[in-house]
Amino acid sequence: MEGKVLIVGMGLIGGSLALCIKEEHPESTIIGYDINEKELRLAKPLGVIDEIASTLEEGASCADLIILATPVTQTEKILDILQQIELKSDVIITDTGSTKERIVKASMTLVHKGVTFIGGHPMAGSHKSGVSASKKILFENAFYMLTPPEGDAVEDSIDLLKEWLKGTRAKFMMVPPKEHDELTGMISHFPHVIAASLVHQAKEASDEHPYLRRLAAGGFRDITRIASSNPEMWKDITLQNRDVLMDIMLKWKGEMEQVIDMIGKNDSERIFNYFHEAKQFRDDLPVFSKGAIPAFYDLYIDVPDYPGVISEVTAYLAEERISLTNIRILETREDLFGVLVISFQTMEDREKASECLSKKTSYDLFLD
């Protein structure tokens, strides 16, 4: 496909989408715009974009596709600015925000002027941020939710947008904006609030228990990993999806009251059923599918305690040219001691690493 694509926001998501479009549609021209001059200037030498737009108007006025890969509150502001710009009559505008109802409402003025806006949310991410972390495989097999306006007239535009985004290798899913926010509120936004609250409780307890920080370096740190996400971004998401989150948290409060009641009454049968039902539902969740929260492809290795063992393991992986993103030792984790944890970018890399180490060592390997 030929055409000009403006990507507003040269971060991980915007940069990765640019790479996907460039690979699938090499004849297209990718234009980048960002108020962060450092990220914008870095994007071109990295080969992420072809051109730099000095202003939003310069890039938007000639674009066939405009992708707003910006924080949700900024997206609303940019939609207001786009109303003042003379755009191409057949331009498609989409975004990548993790809330949709307010953004879709903000786009209505443009839609009433005949501009096509299709809300979008690629459900993928990474431990790293910024344009330098961009990668073509970021969205592969991830769900990419689209929230198009109602009506048959937009069907051709949806197909065209999917064609532009074909290089993501993502799984497209059509949902109404309200349903999108309810779904992501439960399985993405709410867990971030809970993770943050767990960390706050641990922080307060650490004043009384000095060893807590050391003990939390294992499993607790793993289950609260998403609390390390960008606080500015999560402030915006929380406020944007306020009503949905308030409803979920009130239900959560009611559930915790039931848990307090069953523990207070020493009701062993209810306690067992509570954990058993949770285990059953959790065990039935898809293992190899990407969901709303980025997956962590960790391999746990029960290594012997002798000098050079970590170098030995990484050398085996290097021989097979298997890339890793992180490596650490779990000093304390319930029923696990002295475990080496290696994180990978993809499930395929983890599988290759597991196969490699199984052949070359006698270490016990397991997934979480």
Residue at token pair 């109404």: 176
Q: Which residue has the higher pLDDT, 59 or 324?
A: 59
CATH number of 297-366: 3.30.70.260
Tokens of 78: 């940019």
Angle, helix 231-240 to helix 72-82, in steps of 10 degrees:
70
Mean pLDDT value of segment 306-312:
81
Does the pLDDT of residue 152 top 70, yes or no?
no
Structure token pair of residue 319: 């021989």
**What integer pLDDT is reported at residue 327 of this predicted model?**
81
pLDDT of residue 295: 60
Per-residue pLDDT, 127: 61
Instruction: For Cα atoms 360, 362, 365, give the angle at the middle one, nearest 5 degrees.
Output: 95
* pLDDT for the residue 248: 96
Asked if residue 314 has pLDDT above 70, the reply is yes
Residue 334 pLDDT > 60, yes or no? no
**Among 120, 76, 143, which Cα is nearest to 286's?**
143
- pLDDT score, position 293: 58
The band of 57, judged by pLDDT with boundaries at 50, 70 and 90, is: very high
Percentage with pLDDT > 70 across the chain = 92
> 4-175 architecture in CATH?
3-Layer(aba) Sandwich (3.40)
Domain span(s) for CATH 3.30.70.260 in the chain? 297-366
The average pLDDT across 161-170 equals 95
- Per-residue confidence (pLDDT) for residue 341, from 0 to 100: 82
What gap in Å lies between CA 58 and CA 150, rounded to an integer?
30
- pLDDT tens per residue, range 226-268: 888 889 889 999 999 999 999 999 999 999 999 999 999 999 9
pLDDT at 285: 78
Mean pLDDT of the chain: 88
Write out pLDDT tens, residues 91-138.
999 999 999 999 999 999 999 889 999 999 998 876 667 898 898 988
User: For the domain 180-283, what is the CATH code?
Assistant: 1.10.3660.10
Mean pLDDT within 298-312: 79
CA dihedral 220, 225, 228, 230 (to 10 degrees): -150
* Whole-angstrom distance, CA of residue 33 vs CA of residue 68: 10
Q: Which segments of the chain belong to CATH 3.40.50.720?
A: 4-175
What's the confidence (pLDDT) of residue 304? 72
pLDDT on residue 333: 42
pLDDT of residue 184: 93
